[in-house]
């Protein structure tokens, strides 16, 4: 696993990311995160995820490329690679100070509970735990599990509204001259109360319009392509950087920003915002919502300057 927390990426105060790969049968052991919720997007391959909530309800679900999961803070879960190829996925946490290497793992915990206490608790001899690991396993390797049963066990969340899986790539995208966008907020994915995600495709030469998010920081993972991100931080401060596949970008809450595709292929961009409610204000909408006379006064130019401005459907400009 590779991570980008505030330690590696100081500007990323509110969100952290991890890129993880599991071979078929590879198991990210049972664990929980005490200080962050977990949102994830599967880039390729397949994996099986299990989780349990404080009510004792569980869910076991298979994920494919293009799927999203969300675990509220403190929910126990595990991830196992299935299928015939490695599974690659991006994890996003709603706390920039989170570290994947500081989570609470079941092997580490049980390894530090005295065997006599475990024996009394589980109703078995203390010697049962003699060969259990004495340190954190983190990732284990086992056989690929069999297919899931058709009928989930009683007490599971497999058919509930608070399911932990959302099929983002299966969603019909919003289409623009400059590309497409798929958005998943709490509105589409009710359990995802602290993170909104988006999968954006930007055509060569296209522009993701200048905008800002009033209620959230923006964390970016560039899956493919070459892009240029510019961020406006007030008082004449603008920072522009170029990004390639595998790079991570970050925009603090309320900062104006825009993205350009500067390569010869589509940019595929994964975005996570640390709020379950999506909010965005675009420069075009703002300009279009004001009277030309007011704009002329503000910019000290003739009112006629604004008569040909296009301010509708500018999300991705071709």
pLDDT 10s digits, 3-53: 888 989 999 999 999 999 999 999 999 999 999 999 999 999 999 999 999
| DSSP-based three-state secondary structure for 105 | strand
Q: Which of 3, 29, 33, 218 is catalytic?
A: 33
Alpha helices in the chain (DSSP H): 106-110, 115-122, 283-288, 292-299
Cβ count near 213 (within 10 Å): 22
Same domain, 10 and 149: yes
Query: Could you tell me the CATH number of the domain that includes residue 204?
Result: 2.60.120.10
pLDDT score recorded for residue 298: 99
Domain boundary among 165, 186, 220: 165
Same domain, 237 and 266: yes
Tokens 């899931």, located at residue: 148
Known catalytic residue: 112? no
Bridge partners (DSSP) of residue 202 are 179, 267
Q: Which of 77, 165, 182, 314 is catalytic?
A: 77
Instruction: Quote the tokens at residue 210.
Output: 């200048």
pLDDT digits (tens, 9 = 90+) for 266-286: 999 999 999 999 999 999 999
Domain boundary among 106, 136, 165: 165
Cα 126 to chain centroid, rounded: 42
Same domain, 141 and 220: no
Same domain, 94 and 11: yes
Known catalytic residue: 300? no
User: How many angstroms separate the Cα of 275 from the Cα of each of 15, 195, 239, 240?
Assistant: 11, 5, 24, 25
Nearest to 46 by CA among 190, 165, 191: 165
Instruction: Quote the tokens at residue 298.
Output: 């503000």
Same domain, 258 and 298: yes
Known catalytic residue: 33? yes
State the Rg of the chain over Cα. 23
Known catalytic residue: 31? yes
Dist. CA 22–CA 166, nearest whole Å: 20
Residues of the chain below pLDDT 70: 151-161
Known catalytic residue: 213? no
Nearest to 196 by CA among 258, 78, 275: 275
Dist. CA 207–CA 170, nearest whole Å: 24
Give residue 96's domain range: 2-165
As a dihedral over the C-alpha atoms of residue 274, residue 276, residue 282, residue 286, rounded to 10 degrees, the angle is: -120
Q: Which of 3, 29, 38, 218 is catalytic?
A: 38
The dihedral built from the CA positions of residue 149, 153, 158 and 159, taken in this order, carries a sign that is: positive
Cα 289 to chain centroid, rounded: 32
Asked if residue 90 lies in contact with residue 247, where contact means CB atoms within 8 angstroms, the answer is no
Same domain, 12 and 98: yes
Same domain, 26 and 127: yes
Same domain, 117 and 204: no
User: How many angstroms separate the Cα of 164 from the Cα of each of 112, 123, 153, 185, 222?
Assistant: 30, 32, 16, 13, 24
Same domain, 11 and 125: yes
Q: How many domains does the chain have?
A: 2
Domain boundary among 165, 180, 209: 165
φ/ψ (deg, to 5) at 201 = -120, 120
Dist. CA 159–CA 67, nearest whole Å: 17
- Residue 185's Cβ-side half-sphere holds a number of Cα atoms within 13 Å equal to 11
Same domain, 156 and 215: no
DSSP letter (8 states) at residue 282: E
Cβ count near 290 (within 10 Å): 12
Q: Which of 29, 31, 164, 165 is catalytic?
A: 31
Known catalytic residue: 38? yes
Same domain, 147 and 177: no
Which pTM was predicted? Answer: 0.94
Q: Which of 3, 29, 48, 100 is catalytic?
A: 100
Same domain, 149 and 7: yes
């Amino acid at each position: 696993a590779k991570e980008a927390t505030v330690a590696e990426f100081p500007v990323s105060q509110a969100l952290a990311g991890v890129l993880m790969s599991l071979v078929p049968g590879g198991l990210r052991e049972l664990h929980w995160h005490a200080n962050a919720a977990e949102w994830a997007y599967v880039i390729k391959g397949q994996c099986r995820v299990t989780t349990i909530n404080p009510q004792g309800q569980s869910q076991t679900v298979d994920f494919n490329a293009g799927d999203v999961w969300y675990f509220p803070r403190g929910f126990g879960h595990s991830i196992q690679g299935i299928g015939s190829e490695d599974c690659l996925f991006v994890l996003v946490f709603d706390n920039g100070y989170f570290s994947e290497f500081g989570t609470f793992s079941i092997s580490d915990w049980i390894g530090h509970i005295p065997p006599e206490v475990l024996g009394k608790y589980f109703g078995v001899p203390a010697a049962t735990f003699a060969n259990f690991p004495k340190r954190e396993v983190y990732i284990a390797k086992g056989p690929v599990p069999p297919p899931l049963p058709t009928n989930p066990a009683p007490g599971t969340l497999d058919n509930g509204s608070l399911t932990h899986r959302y099929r983002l790539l299966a969603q019909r995208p919003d289409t623009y001259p400059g590309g497409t966008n798929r958005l998943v907020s709490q509105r589409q994915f009710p359990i995802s109360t602290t993170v909104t995600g988006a999968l954006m495709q930007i055509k060569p030469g296209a522009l993701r319009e200048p905008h800002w998010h009033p209620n959230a920081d923006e964390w970016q993972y560039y899956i493919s392509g070459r892009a240029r991100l510019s961020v406006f931080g007030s008082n004449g401060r603008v920072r522009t950087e170029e990004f390639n596949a595998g790079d991570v970008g970050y925009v603090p809450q309320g900062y104006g920003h825009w993205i350009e595709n500067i390569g010869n292929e589509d940019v595929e961009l994964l975005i996570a915002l640390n709020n379950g409610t999506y909010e965005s204000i675009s420069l075009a909408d703002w300009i279009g919502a004001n009277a030309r006379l007011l704009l002329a006064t503000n910019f000290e130019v003739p009112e006629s300057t604004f008569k040909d401005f296009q301010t509708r459907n500018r999300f991705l400009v071709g």
